């Protein structure tokens, strides 16, 4: 797979600010019981790009994703999606604005023998939100809508290569395949911004390669990606731009080649000169 960071999709298929910005994080701070998790973090994500957020464990990366999608409220600072303030909105409201999320720890529904397809359908809240009136008087229309959503869910599973598992229970799948199901579910809401929290964690080399291909394919659909990841091979090969956090603070930012050559990043995180394929020099 060729390095992908040279390909630009400046807002193709997305609604961005006039300057091409999809997401803006402005001086965000967050502390927990006196421990400063984030301190005045600022950066922007351009529409149609894959932006990686890297740094040591405890740098504040997942905390920042939680602020962006409304799971946490920052102590100070702002987050804007296409110029709309996200801070103060509920998670479900932010999802309806076009933000979807995967988690470091896979969250798949297993109650009542829920299938893989059932799990993907959970991402369809943007498409099927029936009212009482709709349920009572528009049953035919709702049935057609539900059929269309099921077809869309199967398309999402096909996109990630998991359509064969639609009727299986998630627990019967490998860890890597469960990751793909979670990704399919996140795509069901047709996000404009996709937050990925360590998607390569626990995957073998072949699965990582497949996930890289999928991220590039997602970007080709015009979806902007903010990626938290420790796998430097993946980061350096797919990212258009990288921001580095260290102890909750912004440390550096740039394209993969600039980050590889940054002495502060090497000292704080990479530990050695890196190559654009993520391996040691």
- Residue 206: CB atoms within 10 A of its CB come to 9
User: 221, 47 in Cβ contact below 8 A?
Assistant: no
Say yes or no: 238 and 119 in one domain: no
Residue 103 within a domain: no
Residue 41 within a domain: yes
Say yes or no: 200 and 240 in one domain: yes
Say yes or no: 197 and 177 in one domain: no
Number of domains in the chain: 2
| Sign (positive or negative) of CA dihedral 180, 230, 224, 276 | negative
| Sign (positive or negative) of CA dihedral 97, 101, 48, 221 | negative
167, 190, 213 — which closes off a domain?
190
pLDDT 10s digits, 32-75: 988 999 999 999 999 999 999 999 988 999 999 999 999 999 99
Q: For residue 134, how far is the Cα from the chain centroid?
A: 33
Domain residues for 236? 1-98+191-281
Q: What is the pLDDT of residue 127?
A: 52
Say yes or no: 49 and 88 in one domain: yes
Say yes or no: 74 and 196 in one domain: yes
Q: What is the pLDDT of residue 227?
A: 96
CATH number at residue 6: 3.40.50.300
Segments of the chain scoring below 70 in pLDDT? 1-18, 125-145, 272-281
pLDDT 10s digits, 245-257: 999 999 999 999 9
Between the alpha carbon of residue 177 and those of residues 122, 133, 173, 191, the distances in Å are 17, 39, 6, 21
Residue 278 within a domain: yes
Q: What is the pLDDT of residue 124?
A: 75
Q: What is the pLDDT of residue 114?
A: 84
- Tokens linked to 10: 């400046």
Residue 1 within a domain: yes
Residue 107 within a domain: no
Say yes or no: 148 and 216 in one domain: no
Say yes or no: 271 and 196 in one domain: yes
Say yes or no: 2 and 91 in one domain: yes
Residue 27 within a domain: yes
Q: Which long-range contacts (CB under 8 A, 24 or more apart) does 203-206 make?
A: 203/175, 203/176, 203/179, 204/176
Question: What residues does 85 pair with on adjacent strands?
Answer: 80
Q: What is the pLDDT of residue 83?
A: 92
Say yes or no: 81 and 208 in one domain: yes
Residue 11 within a domain: yes
190, 208, 242 — which closes off a domain?
190
173, 190, 207 — which closes off a domain?
190
Say yes or no: 221 and 89 in one domain: yes
Say yes or no: 203 and 279 in one domain: yes
Say yes or no: 155 and 262 in one domain: no
Q: What is the pLDDT of residue 9?
A: 40
């Amino acid at each position: 797979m060729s390095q992908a960071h040279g390909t630009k999709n400046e807002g193709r298929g997305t609604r961005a600010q006039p300057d091409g910005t999809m997401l803006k994080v402005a001086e965000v701070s967050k502390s927990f019981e006196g421990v400063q998790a984030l301190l005045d973090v600022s950066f922007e994500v351009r529409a149609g790009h894959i932006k990686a957020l890297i740094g040591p464990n405890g740098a504040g990366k997942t905390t920042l994703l939680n602020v962006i999608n409304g799971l946490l409220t920052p102590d100070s600072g702002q987050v804007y999606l296409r110029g709309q303030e996200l801070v103060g909105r509920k998670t479900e409201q932010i999802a309806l604005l076009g933000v979807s999320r995967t988690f470091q720890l896979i969250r798949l529904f297993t109650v009542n023998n829920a299938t893989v397809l059932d799990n993907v359908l959970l991402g369809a809240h943007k498409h099927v939100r029936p009212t009482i009136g709709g349920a009572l008087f528009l049953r035919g229309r709702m049935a057609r809508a539900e059929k269309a959503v099921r077809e869309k869910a199967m398309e999402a599973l096909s996109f990630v290569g998991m359509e064969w598992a639609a009727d299986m229970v998630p627990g019967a799948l490998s860890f890597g395949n469960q990751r793909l199901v979670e990704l399919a579910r996140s795509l069901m809401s047709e996000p404009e911004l996709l937050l990925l929290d360590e998607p390569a964690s626990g995957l073998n080399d072949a699965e990582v390669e497949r996930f890289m291909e999928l991220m590039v394919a997602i970007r080709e659909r015009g979806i902007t990606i903010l990626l938290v990841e420790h796998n430097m091979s993946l980061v350096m090969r797919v990212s258009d731009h990288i921001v580095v956090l260290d102890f909750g603070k912004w440390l550096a930012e740039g394209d993969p080649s600039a980050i590889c050559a940054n002495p502060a990043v090497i000292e704080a995180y990479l530990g050695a000169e890196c190559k654009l394929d993520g391996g040691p020099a």
